[in-house]
Amino acid sequence: MTNFHPDTKWLSEYAAGTLSDSQALCVSTHFAYCQKCKQEASELTQLGAMVFNTQTNDNESAPDLLQNVLSHINKDPGQADVAPPQNNSQPVTGHTDLPTVIKTLIPEGTDNLSWKKIGPQISIAKLSNLGDTRSVALHKLQPGSTVSDHDHHGLEITVVLDGSFSDQDGKYFPGDFLVRKAGEVHSPCTSNDEECLCLTVCDAPVKFTGFFTRLLNPLVAYQHKH
């Protein structure tokens, strides 16, 4: 059951088309698990179109804003603004029960991605940056693993895709939408019986704060840039 959702600010900005492509991807992914948020975004889209349509003609920005909102009308909020995948003959392997918007980005499946290990318990597969400067990646945590304390140098959005993990603030399941702000510290740990797969979008690389895990910081920074 999905317990953590984007707030009204995120849904309003999604409906208005003002989120970056990578952040909109996270919201769209959440919609695949949460019909309530999906419906609320659809209603906000239509409400926004009505408001902008009544603005006076002397507001030069109104036509552009109206067009931006109208571009979302009759569009399924669960679909992201990404190009359709090319035909790929490789078999789809790995985590296969994923939202359509994620499958669109990785038509070959999770096992065929270029995974890079960040320590013994976590692997990262970099995805397309979708036209903005944020890092977009899948994170795979091994069963029963604990990620050392780390903080964030910028905004980080996480959407759980498969499995679950927990930290000092709660336990998170598929569809949960989490936002960590710069300076927040947490130490995620996964359940003992299954791997956890997450979508993450970061403004800046995380920074490990433990004595030994600080040695991983240069590697994490490299992964963020490449």
CB 34 within 8 A of CB 5: yes
CB 64 within 8 A of CB 99: no
Q: What confidence score (pLDDT) does residue 214 get?
A: 39
Q: What is the pLDDT of residues 128-186, one digit of tens each?
A: 767 778 889 999 999 988 876 556 567 899 999 999 999 888 999 999 999 988 777 76
Tally Cβ neighbours within 10 Å of residue 18.
13
Q: What confidence score (pLDDT) does residue 52 get?
A: 56
- What token pair was written down for 186? 């947490």
Instruction: Give the SS3 label for residue 179.
Output: strand
* Mean pLDDT, range 66-93, rounded to an integer: 46
Instruction: Give the SS3 label for residue 178.
Output: strand
Percentage of the chain modeled with pLDDT above 70: 65
C-alpha 6: how far from chain center: 11
Tell me, what amino acid is at 144?
G
In 3D, which of 51, 40, 102, 22 has the Cα closest to residue 77?
Answer: 40
- Nearest-5° Cα angle at 49, 18 to 13: 20
Q: Above 80 in pLDDT, residue 94?
A: no
Q: What confidence score (pLDDT) does residue 113 get?
A: 93
Q: What confidence score (pLDDT) does residue 213 get?
A: 41
Which is it for the CA torsion 219, 221, 222, 226, positive or negative?
positive
Beta strand extents in 51-175 (DSSP E only): 115-117, 122-126, 135-141, 150-152, 156-162, 165-167, 170-172
In 3D, which of 192, 195, 193, 154 has the Cα closest to residue 174?
Answer: 195
Q: What is the pLDDT of residues 178-221, one digit of tens each?
A: 998 877 776 788 988 899 999 999 886 655 554 334 333 443 44
Position with higher pLDDT, 97 vs 209: 97
Structural domains present in the chain: 108-225 (2.60.120.10)
